[in-house]
């Protein structure tokens, strides 16, 4: 608060820094909060305001950047506090964590080319920034049975793959079969009690797929990193591809590469950039 010359109190607008970044056009608002003192009141309402594409900054989610000592005890130096654009908490975000790592390198907080241990609600992930590419180890893939997902009157059997968060991968003849994806596809709530990310996948050629995705808490997005990893795993299972095969994954916002390693880990690589920074009072 400040006072005018006549002594009347007037409100002072409090602002804080933000950055905007994206990984294959899956975009995020980054909130630096290294010591955890700035955004302890990061409410769902404020997340929705930040992500609003007309009245806010705009994004598929919010990445709060914390040092581990500010967020709890982890075997890592950093914690990614990720929120979906509807304000809900999320376990993990494959493109978001790559943008998070790019920010750390750009700011000189970590060294490029060295493994960066970043804690998430799905555990600690290791990320490496290598030139224009950012590579993340998403962890061990859990593969389960198929169950149905539906859009309108159309239904597909979808492979359940968990890479730190749940995915249902449906193979289609054409990506437009899923329609406009304005609402979340329906799913078996006994299989996905907390909701699910749904990928629609087509085969381009051996080792090359394309996909669309409806993300839990964000709607249809231009890309989903964990979704690309899940789609690759489901495709490899379907094709009985040998472990270590690298798949090209085309998304509406660009191209990613995913590998299912011999020890069941999913590696995801692709571009990630920070495109803007500023101050906001949202």
Identify whether residues 110 and 162 lie together within a single domain.
no
pTM above 0.85, yes or no: yes
Q: Are residues 118 and 150 in the same domain?
A: no
Is 3 part of any domain?
no
Name the phi and psi angles at 156, rounded to 5.
-130, 150
Give me the phi and psi of 176, to 5 degrees please. -80, -10
The tens digit of pLDDT for each residue in 121-172 reads: 999 999 999 999 999 999 999 999 999 999 999 999 999 999 999 999 999 9
pLDDT range class, residue 206, cuts 50, 70, 90: very high
Same domain? 52 vs 125: yes
pLDDT band at 5 (very low <50, low <70, confident <90, very high): very low
207: region left, alpha or beta (phi > 0 left; psi from -120 to 50 alpha): left
Do 98 and 63 fall within a single domain?
Answer: yes
Helix axes 225-239, 94-106, angle to 10 degrees: 130
- Same domain assignment for residues 39 and 145: no
Is 2 domain-assigned?
Answer: no
Token code pair at residue 144: 């389960």
182 within some domain: yes
Token pair belonging to 123: 């555990």
Q: Is residue 9 part of a domain?
A: no
**Confidence check: pLDDT of 1 > 60:** no
Residue whose entry in the numeric block shows the structure tokens 């009157």: 153
Buried b (16+ CB within 10 A) or exposed e, 35-67: ebebbeebeeebbbebbeeeebbebbbbbbbbe
Helical spans, DSSP H, in 127-240: 225-239
* pLDDT-above-70 percentage for the chain: 94
Give the whole-angstrom CA distance, residue 97 versus residue 63: 8
Mark whether 240 and 160 lie in a shared domain.
yes
Confidence (pLDDT) at 77: 93
Predicted confidence (pLDDT) per residue in 97-111, tens digit: 999 999 999 999 999
Distance CA(129)–CA(113), nearest Å, equals 5
- Domain residue limits at 220: 140-269
6-10, 115-119, 197-201: which has the minimum mean pLDDT? Answer: 6-10
Residues 235, 185, single domain; the answer is yes
The answer on 163 and 110 residing in a single domain is no
Q: What are the helix (H) ranges across 58-208?
A: 94-106
* β-strands 208-215, 219-221 pairing: antiparallel
What is the number of domains present in the chain?
Answer: 2
145 & 261 share domain:
yes
Domain co-membership, 150 together with 261:
yes
Q: Are 131 and 146 in the same domain?
A: no
Helix, strand, coil shares, percent, the chain, to 5: 15, 45, 40
How confident is residue 73, by pLDDT bands cut at 50, 70 and 90?
A: low
Same domain, 87 and 187: no
Task: For residue 31, tell me if it sits in a domain.
Answer: yes
Provide the CATH number for the domain around residue 36: 3.10.310.10
Residues annotated as part of the active site:
93, 224
Q: Is residue 7 part of a domain?
A: no
The answer to the question of residue 4 being in a domain is no
Domain contains 8? no
């Amino acid at each position: 608060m400040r006072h005018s010359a006549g002594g009347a109190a007037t409100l002072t607008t409090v602002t804080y820094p933000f950055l905007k970044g994206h990984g294959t056009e899956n975009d995020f608002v980054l909130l630096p909060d290294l010591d955890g003192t700035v955004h302890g009141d990061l409410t769902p309402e404020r997340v929705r305001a930040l992500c609003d594409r007309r009245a806010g900054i705009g994004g598929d989610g919010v990445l709060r950047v914390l040092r581990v000592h500010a967020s709890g005890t982890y075997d890592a130096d950093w914690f990614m506090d990720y929120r979906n654009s509807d304000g809900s908490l999320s376990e993990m975000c494959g493109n978001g964590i790559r943008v998070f790592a790019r920010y750390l390198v750009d700011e000189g907080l970590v060294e490029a080319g060295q493994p960066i241990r970043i804690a998430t609600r799905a555990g600690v992930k290791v990320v490496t920034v290598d030139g224009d590419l950012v590579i993340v180890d998403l962890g061990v893939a859990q593969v389960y049975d198929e169950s149905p997902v539906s859009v309108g009157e159309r239904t597909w059997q979808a492979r359940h793959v968990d890479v730190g968060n749940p995915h249902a991968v449906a193979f289609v003849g054409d990506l437009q079969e899923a329609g406009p994806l304005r609402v979340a596809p329906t799913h078996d709530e006994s299989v996905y009690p907390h909701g699910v990310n749904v990928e629609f996948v087509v085969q381009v050629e051996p080792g090359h797929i394309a996909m669309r995705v409806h993300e839990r808490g964000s709607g249809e997005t231009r890309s989903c990193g964990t979704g690309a990893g899940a789609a690759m795993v489901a495709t490899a299972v379907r094709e009985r591809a040998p472990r270590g095969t690298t798949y090209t994954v085309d998304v509406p916002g660009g191209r990613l590469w995913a590998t299912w390693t011999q020890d069941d880990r999913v590696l995801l690589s692709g571009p990630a950039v920070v495109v803007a920074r500023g101050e906001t009072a949202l």
